[in-house]
Amino acid sequence: MALPQLIAEDMRELDRVLSDLVTRREASAALIIDKAGFLIAETGDFGEFDSTTLAALAAGTFAATQGMASVISEPNFTCVYQQGENFSLLVRNVDAETLVMVVFQAHVSVGAVKYFANSAVAQLARQFEAAQQRNPGGKVDFAMMNMENSGEFFRKAG
């Protein structure tokens, strides 16, 4: 199973759930991440954060944690938490394909962030399931599009 095709309605709902999570828990930012490392949606104040890189690293960290879980035969590592001096991070499993990540001030209680993240996870999973049901195995129609400059996608400077 792969991530389903997302349409505007899906993105609105994902953004709404993330915004809600950020507002209710005084979080700085929240992201939805595909387990291959792609950033799907983001909300909040990123300031100097590079959200694309954050997403790739979060997916890697979560995958490594799952690897450790399998070594010790533990089927239930659903989240990764890192406490910092200024900011803390919580990465939580959503479904087979996606994760949600919350960046929050270190003084905010992680218990409360976890509680609200759990509720967000259920809503996000429902939306991904709805997208999957809408168009199972759906793919975008690239045949309608023209490749631009197909000889050279990336040019060397100088």
Sites of contact with another protein (CB under 8 A): 2-3, 5-8, 10-11, 34-40, 50, 52-53, 56-57, 60, 63-64, 67, 139-143, 145-158
CB of 72 to another protein, least distance (A): 14
Cα separation, 63 vs 53, in Å, equals: 15
Nearest of 51, 31, 26, 34 to residue 110 by alpha carbon: 26
Chain Cα centroid distance, residue 116 = 16
CB of 96 to another protein, least distance (A): 12
CB of 86 to another protein, least distance (A): 20
CB of 130 to another protein, least distance (A): 14
**β-strand partners of 39:** 33
Chain Cα centroid distance, residue 60 = 12
Look up residue 67 and give its two tokens: 């690897």
Structure letter (DSSP) for residue 148: S
Q: Which is nearer to another protein, 44 or 113 (CB)?
A: 44
Q: Which is nearer to another protein, 67 or 84 (CB)?
A: 67
Q: Which is nearer to another protein, 5 or 78 (CB)?
A: 5
